[in-house]
Structure 1
């Protein structure tokens, strides 16, 4: 593609994911045009985005010659088939997380991407949470010294079922492990790479009628360097504020509460580029207590790095237009799926699994 050309994007589905996370970022990217949306029962997207085309089937979307990139926001069980079909029809693809529902499917998609030469990425937007970017800098720049423990939470309080497909045991890839677990595992992979071992407990704590899915997990990843990552998610975490990160190192610790602000901002209609977008309020900043190199002791707040979900879409566009490296590769998606499966196996068998 010529440098002056933008990537034309078609989105499959117009539910919460597309409305909140994808379409607002697509139209905010200087490298992209939103041109089409698949909606089977309405044309709501046309009201939100003037000038786009609405089609009722993925076949119609994949046949559109002016669509370069397809974004798949449908339920997890459909990700593999739709991504495969789109690439075979000549489209680049972004798949909402989780990548697939099995590592075998993920491996096949990696192969199809190589065979077709099409860019394939997974929407792991939480790599661009402001708090995660902050944690990454603290670790990389040695503010904690040798890291010994990384604890990451993504908790909610919902003692009822919303009756969506994510809470139906008949839905492929339902439950918290595939939903929030995919985020936490990918963040750990991005920081530390492939773990040495995994131990997990995964359970259904709420025991709600019609929602027989996992709603709580603890995953412990260990690494050959000696540190460990504890990943935790629960639907029955009512404490306020919710813990997000707790890091311990040889020289100190860092603690952060509250979730990244971007999801709530996007739901409220704020876009990247608007004043205050991605900016964590001061009262939500984390706290660092550390003896830095040279004997300097620091005990106080650390300003949260500004969050930037738009960076994900800009990176994919630049990979398509200019051949730049992908930030989130299909191999990243495959590793995440393998760890999800091994976490479930560990929980089922009650044992630590070594790579």
Structure 2
């Protein structure tokens, strides 16, 4: 019989309410023990048994809590993660892991010293569309993949009501927000790049932080382009891959976020299964024949992340996302920021 991980969440805004609490609640290996709620006390409306804490210190002093999820604004990740580790808790840190490399290194060393598990919540690895892209690349469906474009576009005429996302400062802007997803996916597919070139800018007059980016990751005989913008009403495919034998095109059609916002439970029937019109287009050569067909993606499911994290804690299995992998994303972010600032290609030192 499994022993549930007693879990606390550092915030019950959209991140806590939509991307964390439903999966903790639906997974029998976890118990949603507590939530840090600074002002509004709403968690018990959804989870009557949950304990509400007024301060982080009060929450971290509760000896029953084993796992703390750091899902607060980016700039607070380092401080709160450090305090949670010092309090003897395992931690999951929302993406982006930290603001800079030095913070990430310090946390990794602290987690090792405390002998606690630490993972970064790169949940988009568990999207249905990316799971299909991973199959395409790892299965060599296109031969040698050499041209890749990954996009995450939106159309936003208004600023986010979350002030920390729109106020200039460390970790703010679209690049830290969505760029971390795209970088992580690229690193999962192709590893660390040899060099980085980036263009980060502001397109909307109302914005004070970057709302557009284009990043080129340089590999030997391969180029990966990562793009996002808040000024795209008619979206293009999220994944476009070309290789020595063919091409693959896929829209961003994972349904989990929309279903979560609509209040659907992640253990409900049909969870994470894309509609038929979300299939990817594969045009390639197979067994010396040209094929052009639609491919159904596998099920997307963020609960797999939490199940794997549980096994890492209880049975010493691999973490779903390591802190080192989260730190690699930050190192690419730093190289891209330097590139955009200096308008030059920045060599990426994979030995750091």
Give the TM-score of the pair, scaled to structure 2.
0.96
Mapped partners of 1:212, 1:342: distance in 2:
22
Q: Tell me the equivalent position of 2:234.
A: 239
1:117-175 superposed Cα distances (whole Å, 9 cap, x missing partner):
11001110000010100000011111111101111001000022124224433443110
- SS of equivalent to 1:87: helix
Matches within 5 A, 1:90-239: 90-208=88-206, 211-224=207-220, 226-239=221-234
Q: Tell me the equivalent position of 2:15.
A: 17
- SS of equivalent to 1:243: coil
Gaps of 5+ in 2: none
Q: Tell me the equivalent position of 1:306.
A: 299
Q: Among 281, 284, 296, which residue is 2:278 paired with?
A: 284
Mapped partners of 1:344, 1:79: distance in 2:
20
Mapped partners of 1:271, 1:285: distance in 2:
24
Task: Give the root-mean-square deviation of aligned CA atoms.
Answer: 1.2
- SS of equivalent to 2:193: coil
Asked if residue 63 in structure 1 is aligned to residue 58 in structure 2, the reply is no
Gaps of 5+ in 1: none
Q: Tell me the equivalent position of 1:326.
A: 319
Mapped partners of 2:256, 2:161: distance in 1:
25
Q: Among 271, 275, 290, which residue is 1:297 paired with?
A: 290
Give the direction of change, closer, same or farther, for the CA distance of 1:243–1:166 in structure 2 (3 Å limit).
farther
Mapped partners of 2:84, 2:260: distance in 1:
28
Mapped partners of 1:304, 1:166: distance in 2:
35
Contact 1:167 1:212 in 2 (8 A): no
Q: Tell me the equivalent position of 2:252.
A: 258
Mapped partners of 2:169, 2:340: distance in 1:
20
Contact 1:166 1:175 in 2 (8 A): no
Asked if residue 5 in structure 1 is aligned to residue 3 in structure 2, the reply is yes
* Residues 258-267 or 62-71, more deviating: 258-267
Mapped partners of 1:36, 1:199: distance in 2:
43
Contact 2:217 2:224 in 1 (8 A): yes
- SS of equivalent to 2:268: coil
Contact 1:94 1:120 in 2 (8 A): yes
Q: Among 326, 347, 354, which residue is 2:347 paired with?
A: 354
Q: Tell me the equivalent position of 1:341.
A: 334
